[in-house]
Structure 1
Protein backbone atom coordinates (compact mmCIF):
# COMPACT_ATOMS: atom_id res chain seq x y z
CA UNK A 1 0.00 0.00 0.00
CA UNK A 2 1.31 3.42 -0.95
CA UNK A 3 0.36 6.82 0.42
CA UNK A 4 0.72 9.74 -1.98
CA UNK A 5 -0.34 13.36 -2.00
CA UNK A 6 -3.31 13.82 -4.30
CA UNK A 7 -2.63 15.50 -7.62
CA UNK A 8 -4.84 16.86 -10.36
CA UNK A 9 -5.00 13.36 -11.87
CA UNK A 10 -6.81 12.22 -8.70
CA UNK A 11 -9.48 14.93 -8.96
CA UNK A 12 -12.11 12.77 -10.68
CA UNK A 13 -11.56 9.87 -8.28
CA UNK A 14 -12.06 12.17 -5.29
CA UNK A 15 -15.13 14.09 -6.49
CA UNK A 16 -16.89 10.88 -7.53
CA UNK A 17 -16.50 9.45 -4.01
CA UNK A 18 -16.15 12.25 -1.47
CA UNK A 19 -19.67 13.61 -1.05
CA UNK A 20 -18.78 15.49 2.15
CA UNK A 21 -16.95 18.37 0.45
CA UNK A 22 -18.20 20.76 -2.22
CA UNK A 23 -16.61 19.87 -5.55
CA UNK A 24 -15.37 23.45 -5.91
CA UNK A 25 -13.06 22.95 -2.88
CA UNK A 26 -11.40 19.72 -4.05
CA UNK A 27 -8.87 21.45 -6.31
CA UNK A 28 -7.97 23.87 -3.50
CA UNK A 29 -7.39 20.95 -1.12
CA UNK A 30 -5.23 19.21 -3.74
CA UNK A 31 -3.22 22.39 -4.33
CA UNK A 32 -2.73 22.90 -0.57
CA UNK A 33 -1.57 19.25 -0.23
CA UNK A 34 -4.41 18.42 2.16
CA UNK A 35 -5.55 15.16 0.52
CA UNK A 36 -3.68 11.86 0.51
CA UNK A 37 -4.49 9.06 -1.92
CA UNK A 38 -4.11 5.44 -0.83
CA UNK A 39 -3.05 3.02 -3.55
CA UNK A 40 -2.54 -0.68 -4.00
CA UNK A 41 -0.44 -1.46 -7.07
CA UNK A 42 -1.26 1.93 -8.62
CA UNK A 43 -5.01 1.42 -8.04
CA UNK A 44 -6.73 4.01 -5.84
CA UNK A 45 -8.25 2.33 -2.81
CA UNK A 46 -9.08 5.32 -0.63
CA UNK A 47 -8.23 8.81 0.53
CA UNK A 48 -7.70 10.96 3.59
CA UNK A 49 -8.51 14.67 3.72
CA UNK A 50 -7.66 17.22 6.39
CA UNK A 51 -7.77 20.93 7.18
CA UNK A 52 -7.25 23.13 10.22
CA UNK A 53 -9.58 23.76 13.15
CA UNK A 54 -9.44 27.43 14.19
CA UNK A 55 -6.89 27.74 11.36
CA UNK A 56 -4.11 26.34 13.59
CA UNK A 57 -4.92 22.78 14.74
CA UNK A 58 -4.65 20.01 12.13
CA UNK A 59 -8.08 18.41 11.79
CA UNK A 60 -8.59 15.13 9.95
CA UNK A 61 -11.88 15.55 8.11
CA UNK A 62 -12.32 12.29 6.25
CA UNK A 63 -10.84 8.86 5.75
CA UNK A 64 -12.42 6.52 3.25
CA UNK A 65 -11.09 3.10 2.30
CA UNK A 66 -12.75 0.87 -0.27
CA UNK A 67 -14.75 -1.90 1.39
CA UNK A 68 -12.56 -4.81 0.28
CA UNK A 69 -9.47 -3.17 1.80
CA UNK A 70 -10.93 -2.45 5.23
CA UNK A 71 -9.76 -4.33 8.32
CA UNK A 72 -6.17 -4.58 7.06
CA UNK A 73 -4.62 -1.74 9.08
CA UNK A 74 -4.66 0.75 6.21
CA UNK A 75 -6.66 3.33 8.20
CA UNK A 76 -4.16 3.20 11.03
CA UNK A 77 -1.25 3.55 8.58
CA UNK A 78 -2.65 6.69 6.96
CA UNK A 79 -3.49 8.28 10.33
CA UNK A 80 0.01 7.58 11.70
CA UNK A 81 1.54 8.87 8.45
CA UNK A 82 -0.46 12.11 8.73
CA UNK A 83 0.36 12.49 12.42
CA UNK A 84 4.08 12.15 11.68
CA UNK A 85 3.88 14.86 9.02
CA UNK A 86 2.03 17.13 11.44
CA UNK A 87 4.64 16.40 14.14
CA UNK A 88 7.45 17.26 11.71
CA UNK A 89 5.71 20.56 10.98
CA UNK A 90 5.79 21.40 14.68
CA UNK A 91 2.21 20.69 15.69
CA UNK A 92 1.65 19.28 19.17
CA UNK A 93 -2.06 18.45 18.87
CA UNK A 94 -4.30 16.99 16.16
CA UNK A 95 -8.06 16.59 16.01
CA UNK A 96 -10.77 14.64 14.27
CA UNK A 97 -14.45 13.89 14.77
CA UNK A 98 -17.00 11.20 14.06
CA UNK A 99 -20.70 10.81 14.54
CA UNK A 100 -21.73 9.02 17.73
CA UNK A 101 -23.54 6.36 15.70
CA UNK A 102 -20.41 5.43 13.71
CA UNK A 103 -17.86 2.74 14.59
CA UNK A 104 -14.95 5.08 13.73
CA UNK A 105 -14.98 6.54 17.24
CA UNK A 106 -13.69 3.21 18.59
CA UNK A 107 -10.92 3.10 15.97
CA UNK A 108 -9.71 6.57 16.93
CA UNK A 109 -9.73 5.77 20.64
CA UNK A 110 -7.68 2.60 20.01
CA UNK A 111 -4.95 4.66 18.36
CA UNK A 112 -4.72 7.21 21.15
CA UNK A 113 -7.40 9.81 20.49
CA UNK A 114 -9.35 11.12 23.48
CA UNK A 115 -12.86 12.54 23.64
CA UNK A 116 -12.69 16.33 23.82
CA UNK A 117 -16.32 17.34 23.48
CA UNK A 118 -19.20 17.15 21.07
CA UNK A 119 -21.33 19.12 18.67
CA UNK A 120 -25.06 18.70 18.24
CA UNK A 121 -26.63 19.95 15.04
CA UNK A 122 -30.37 19.90 14.71
CA UNK A 123 -30.56 17.39 11.86
CA UNK A 124 -27.61 15.06 12.58
CA UNK A 125 -26.44 12.61 15.24
CA UNK A 126 -24.11 13.87 17.94
CA UNK A 127 -20.63 14.63 16.55
CA UNK A 128 -17.86 13.44 18.88
CA UNK A 129 -14.72 15.59 18.81
CA UNK A 130 -11.46 13.75 19.48
CA UNK A 131 -7.90 15.01 20.04
CA UNK A 132 -4.46 13.46 20.28
CA UNK A 133 -1.27 14.95 21.66
CA UNK A 134 1.67 14.28 19.39
Structure 2
Protein backbone atom coordinates (compact mmCIF):
# COMPACT_ATOMS: atom_id res chain seq x y z
CA UNK A 1 0.00 0.00 0.00
CA UNK A 2 1.13 3.55 -0.68
CA UNK A 3 -0.03 6.61 1.27
CA UNK A 4 0.48 10.13 -0.08
CA UNK A 5 0.76 13.50 1.64
CA UNK A 6 1.82 16.21 -0.84
CA UNK A 7 5.39 15.25 -1.89
CA UNK A 8 5.75 12.59 0.81
CA UNK A 9 4.92 8.92 0.63
CA UNK A 10 4.62 6.04 3.07
CA UNK A 11 5.07 2.54 1.70
CA UNK A 12 4.27 -0.64 3.62
CA UNK A 13 6.24 -2.73 1.14
CA UNK A 14 9.39 -4.30 2.60
CA UNK A 15 11.04 -3.89 -0.80
CA UNK A 16 10.95 -0.11 -0.27
CA UNK A 17 13.04 -0.29 2.93
CA UNK A 18 16.42 1.32 2.25
CA UNK A 19 18.51 -0.65 4.77
CA UNK A 20 21.56 1.66 4.71
CA UNK A 21 19.28 4.68 5.27
CA UNK A 22 17.44 2.95 8.10
CA UNK A 23 20.81 2.09 9.66
CA UNK A 24 21.80 5.76 9.35
CA UNK A 25 18.55 6.92 10.96
CA UNK A 26 18.71 4.39 13.79
CA UNK A 27 22.37 5.24 14.46
CA UNK A 28 21.25 8.64 15.79
CA UNK A 29 18.58 7.15 18.06
CA UNK A 30 18.99 6.49 21.76
CA UNK A 31 17.53 2.99 21.49
CA UNK A 32 19.21 1.47 18.42
CA UNK A 33 22.44 3.38 17.80
CA UNK A 34 24.55 0.24 18.12
CA UNK A 35 22.51 -2.07 15.88
CA UNK A 36 24.39 -3.64 13.03
CA UNK A 37 23.05 -3.70 9.51
CA UNK A 38 22.59 -7.49 9.85
CA UNK A 39 20.40 -7.07 12.93
CA UNK A 40 18.39 -4.35 11.21
CA UNK A 41 17.93 -6.53 8.13
CA UNK A 42 16.65 -9.43 10.23
CA UNK A 43 14.27 -7.13 12.14
CA UNK A 44 12.91 -5.81 8.82
CA UNK A 45 12.42 -9.33 7.49
CA UNK A 46 10.36 -10.24 10.56
CA UNK A 47 8.22 -7.11 10.78
CA UNK A 48 5.63 -5.17 8.85
CA UNK A 49 7.54 -2.05 7.82
CA UNK A 50 6.46 1.48 6.99
CA UNK A 51 8.96 3.59 5.04
CA UNK A 52 8.50 7.36 4.82
CA UNK A 53 9.87 8.93 1.66
CA UNK A 54 10.48 12.41 0.30
CA UNK A 55 10.25 11.58 -3.39
CA UNK A 56 12.94 8.87 -3.77
CA UNK A 57 14.78 9.42 -0.47
CA UNK A 58 13.80 7.50 2.65
CA UNK A 59 13.41 9.96 5.52
CA UNK A 60 11.56 7.90 8.11
CA UNK A 61 10.78 4.42 9.29
CA UNK A 62 8.54 2.43 11.62
CA UNK A 63 7.77 -1.23 12.01
CA UNK A 64 5.23 -3.48 13.69
CA UNK A 65 5.93 -6.93 15.12
CA UNK A 66 2.68 -8.88 15.35
CA UNK A 67 1.05 -12.25 15.72
CA UNK A 68 -1.73 -10.89 13.44
CA UNK A 69 -4.31 -12.21 15.90
CA UNK A 70 -4.18 -10.28 19.15
CA UNK A 71 -1.35 -7.77 19.34
CA UNK A 72 1.21 -5.63 17.59
CA UNK A 73 4.35 -4.01 18.95
CA UNK A 74 5.30 -0.73 17.28
CA UNK A 75 9.06 -0.23 17.09
CA UNK A 76 11.77 1.95 15.61
CA UNK A 77 9.61 4.98 14.81
CA UNK A 78 12.04 7.60 13.53
CA UNK A 79 12.11 10.60 11.19
CA UNK A 80 15.24 12.24 9.80
CA UNK A 81 16.08 15.29 11.96
CA UNK A 82 16.07 17.53 8.87
CA UNK A 83 12.38 16.70 8.36
CA UNK A 84 11.12 16.95 11.92
CA UNK A 85 8.62 19.59 12.95
CA UNK A 86 6.52 19.21 9.80
CA UNK A 87 4.00 16.69 11.15
CA UNK A 88 5.59 13.79 9.29
CA UNK A 89 6.16 11.74 12.45
CA UNK A 90 2.54 12.28 13.41
CA UNK A 91 1.45 11.16 9.94
CA UNK A 92 3.73 8.10 10.11
CA UNK A 93 2.32 7.01 13.49
CA UNK A 94 -1.25 7.73 12.31
CA UNK A 95 -0.68 5.57 9.23
CA UNK A 96 0.75 2.73 11.31
CA UNK A 97 -1.98 2.68 13.96
CA UNK A 98 -4.80 3.01 11.41
CA UNK A 99 -3.55 0.17 9.23
CA UNK A 100 -6.47 -2.30 8.86
CA UNK A 101 -4.23 -5.22 9.89
CA UNK A 102 -4.20 -3.90 13.47
CA UNK A 103 -7.94 -3.17 13.77
CA UNK A 104 -9.22 -4.70 17.00
CA UNK A 105 -5.75 -5.69 18.15
CA UNK A 106 -3.83 -4.51 21.19
CA UNK A 107 -1.03 -2.19 20.06
CA UNK A 108 1.85 -1.34 22.35
CA UNK A 109 5.17 0.42 22.25
CA UNK A 110 7.95 1.51 24.57
CA UNK A 111 9.45 4.99 24.47
CA UNK A 112 11.40 7.43 26.60
CA UNK A 113 10.07 10.42 24.68
CA UNK A 114 7.29 11.62 22.36
CA UNK A 115 4.61 10.57 24.85
CA UNK A 116 2.34 13.38 23.64
CA UNK A 117 2.53 12.12 20.06
CA UNK A 118 1.43 8.64 21.04
CA UNK A 119 -1.22 9.81 23.52
CA UNK A 120 -2.92 11.69 20.65
CA UNK A 121 -3.43 8.28 19.04
CA UNK A 122 -4.98 6.71 22.12
CA UNK A 123 -1.89 5.22 23.76
CA UNK A 124 -1.81 5.30 27.56
CA UNK A 125 1.02 4.71 29.99
CA UNK A 126 0.71 1.48 31.93
CA UNK A 127 2.30 0.36 35.18
CA UNK A 128 1.92 -3.23 33.95
CA UNK A 129 4.72 -3.03 31.39
CA UNK A 130 7.90 -4.86 32.28
CA UNK A 131 11.04 -5.16 30.25
CA UNK A 132 14.13 -7.33 30.26
CA UNK A 133 17.33 -5.98 28.80
What TM-score, normalized by structure 1, do the two folds share?
0.69
Once the 2 structures are TM-superposed, how far is the Cα of residue 27 of structure 1 from its aligned partner?
2.2
Task: Find the aligned partners of 1:67 and 1:36 in 2 and give their Cα distance.
Answer: 18
**Which structure has the highest strand share of the two?**
1
Q: What's the Cα RMSD here? A: 2.8
For residues 8 and 38 of structure 1, do their structure 2 counterparts lie closer, same or farther at Cα, with a shift above 3 Å needed?
closer
1:9-58 Cα deviation digits (max 9, x unpaired)? 611112233241443232233334522211112121111123248x9521
Aligned to 2:123: 113
Aligned to 2:19: 11
Aligned to 1:80: 94
Greater length-normalized contact order (CA 8 Å, ≥ 6 residues apart): 2
Task: Find the aligned partners of 1:58 and 1:9 in 2 and give their Cα distance.
Answer: 20
Task: Find the aligned partners of 2:83 and 2:50 in 1 and give their Cα distance.
Answer: 16
Aligned to 2:4: none
Q: Which runs of 4+ in 1 moved over 2 A?
A: 5-9, 21-35, 87-92, 117-122
* 2:110 is the alignment partner of 1:97: yes
List runs of 5+ in structure 1 lacking aligned partners: 123-134
List runs of 5+ in structure 2 lacking aligned partners: 1-7
Is the 1:29–1:35 contact (alpha carbons within 8 Å) kept by the matching residues of 2? no
SS in 1 for 2:119: helix
For residues 64 and 90 of structure 1, do their structure 2 counterparts lie closer, same or farther at Cα, with a shift above 3 Å needed?
closer
1:1-134 → structure 2 map (5 Å cutoff): 1-4=8-11, 5-7=13-15, 10-19=18-27, 20=32, 21-52=35-66, 56-85=70-99, 87-88=100-101, 90-99=103-112, 102=113, 104-117=114-127, 118-119=129-130
Equivalent pairs counted in the alignment come to 117
What TM-score, normalized by structure 2, do the two folds share?
0.69
